[in-house]
Chain A
Amino acid sequence: MDALLQAVVDGVLVGMVYAVVAASFNILYRASKIPNIAQGQLLLVGACLVWTLSLWLPIWFAVIGAMLGTAVIGIVIQGLIFRPLRGQSILAIAAATIALMGVLRGATLAIWGTDYRQFPVVFPAELIRLGPLVINQGLLYASASALIGILLATLFFNRARLGLAMTAVAEDHVVAASLGIPLNISMTAGWVGSGVFTVLAAIALLNGQTLGPSVDEIGLRALPAALAAGLESIGFIPVAAIAIGLAEIIAQRYLDVHVGGLASIMVPYLILIVIVLVRPQGLFGWKVIERV
């Protein structure tokens, strides 16, 4: 019983890590219609920025600096790549994010190398013992701040005038532009919001742990969470992400021993295939009806 309860707690916390990464993905999509597959690589850049800045600055300034840095990188990417691609087919935009994957990963490895580093402790990392349960304290704080961020983003996109205008960009670039919504500003705002969430995701994932060159895998592992919630949905990400986190932890505790650690690695990707097969628009995304 305790083991199961512990699995549930761990699953929720793992799910929350996915939720923050997925939120950074969906915020960008909701403001710009860019399905940024390179989100994991952006996270790697953000994490390396936090690490570098924390060598000279107090940790909170380092975090804010990294958020600014990631936002600036996003603005540059928008200006150089996605501004000229406004209104282009989703095929071209997706191909551009795929290329971005290589550029960001290559640039990070060229600058920071392939060494393993100790990521600074942003939130206290000690474990809390609650009766028989062990809870990762840092992940708890990170989850709480992520939930607040996701709530604010949801309110912004669903209530605020500007947010609703930006939502139109996710629907259709050409229609949004013809309605007088400044595409470039909306897309740039998406990159800034996404950059801030990316750094938060890096902290949730790496707080006090090892920062290595394969950290960017999280971008792919978190994709099912973004997809399960629906790419246009931000508020429901935690629900979908926690479900996937639970599935992964349960697979890890009960199946991995039989298949040599394979189950927990594969679960997110299998879920991804099932979602695309059964309900590609996700639980709360928009079902697009097309006409010729």
Chain B
Amino acid sequence: MPMLPSGVFATSYATDTAMLRTRFRVVVLLAFLAFLATLPLWAPTALIAILLVIAVQVIAVLGLQITYGLGGQINLGQAAFGGVGAFVAASAAHNLSLPFFLTIPIGGLAGAAIAMAFAVPAARVKGFYLALTTLAAQVIFTVLVPRLPDKLFGGFMGLPVTSPEVLGFRFDTDVAFYYLAVFVSGIMTVLALNVARSRLGRALIAIRDNENAAGIVGVDVFRYKVLSFGVGGFFAGVSGALWLYYVRLAAVDMFTLAQSIFYLAMIIIGGVGSVLGAILGVVVVRGIDELMTRYGADSLTHLLGVGVTSGRLFALTLVVVNLVFLFVLVWEPRGLAYRWRCNLRDYIRLWPYPY
């Protein structure tokens, strides 16, 4: 549990429930926002493209953080729920020509609906069985969607959309889309922070810690379990729809089981149950992925003396990310966020005193 520094007392309910309880945090947040806003002015475009992907994936991982981190419900279909959001948003944009600020929430709602539908059988059971129905959701998604009517969902070719546009401004460059992604990501982060401290979040934590005990003290276990998938699916859908507008084509191969596993790896590596953990996890996993794609081929060729194909490189990325996943799971189960909060941050705060 993160502690406040001594001397910080809440004197009213307003300060007790405030998200930013010290002036220092307000300053840090503003500095961070200013940093994000000015980044495109000096950073290389390649870095902006990476950060944009991070911003989009953070949304999906925040959703998984609510389902898995708060509620303790394994979800192996987060990528598929994101895919549902992307395809429904694409369909809405393509067939009804709705603007992006409507299709993205619609995509989110679609993701929520499908996630809840698959959670209904899962909500009666726990642990491993849950993983199974979401796994089925993931497989059914990749098999079923390309075979749905071409007119609605594009079939095997996928469904193209145009770049988002608002008041004549088109988000068609990486830098412009970076601002859009960070903006949406910021809204969703605030939403996720609030879910964690709402009635829903507290009920989910109770269910995670002991389902039977939660039921006995009056938490409607079934309802909140399904709801946790609904909220998680909404985040996934928004993330998928946003991603759709970046790549401008809804295609099944962006929402695979491997991506779902990556999302889970991000949660475990970052820290289960914390919003900061979700963000750290995405940064670490994306970082590994980018480093492997950028430098992996050259250094491996140098090391082994033989050329490394892109397929092999992807396979190696899969191995490295999942080994980190396993390492954190076994040796550091509370993830990076815990290390930051309870060791590094307190160390910095208390320095030069040991405690």
Contact = CB atoms under 8 A, between A and B. Distances in A.
Contacts of A274: 121
Contacts of A292: 210, 212-213, 216
Interface in A259-292: 259-260, 262, 265-266, 269-270, 272-274, 276-277, 280, 290-292
Interface string A108-147: 1110011000000000000000000000000000000000
A96 B268 CA distance: 10
Contact of A276 (B76, B122, B140, B147): B122
B124 A280 contact: yes
Contacts of A277: 120-121, 124
B171 interface: no
Interface string B101-126: 00000000000000000101110111
A282 to B, nearest CB: 10
Given A81-B326, A102-B261, A292-B212, A94 B128 contact: yes
B212 A290 contact: yes
A220 B138 CA distance: 11
A257 interface: no
A262 B210 contact: no
Interface of A is mostly: helix
B25 interface: no
Nearest to A94: B128
A92 interface: yes
Contacts of A272: 132-133, 136
Q: Most chain-A Cβ atoms within 10 A of its Cβ — which of B124, B125, B132, B139?
A: B132
Contacts of B318: 102-103, 105-106, 109
Contacts of A37: 131, 135
A167 to B, nearest CB: 18
Given A90-B128, A110-B315, A95 B330 contact: no
Contacts of A85: 329-330
Interface residues of A, number: 46
Given A37-B131, A99-B265, A223-B132, A266 B144 contact: yes
A103 B322 contact: yes
Nearest to A280: B125
Contacts of B144: 262, 266
A-B pairs, top 7 by smallest CB distance, nearest first, are A106-B318, A102-B322, A109-B315, A277-B121, A106-B319, A90-B127, A110-B315
Given A35-B128, A99-B268, A292-B210, 13 more contacts: A81-B330, A94-B128, A99-B323, A102-B319, A103-B326, A106-B315, A108-B315, A109-B314, A113-B311, A266-B143, A273-B121, A277-B121, A292-B212
21 contacts: A35-B131, A37-B135, A80-B330, A84-B330, A90-B126, A96-B330, A101-B322, A103-B326, A107-B315, A109-B311, A109-B318, A113-B311, A113-B312, A223-B135, A262-B143, A262-B144, A266-B143, A280-B124, A280-B125, A280-B129, A290-B212
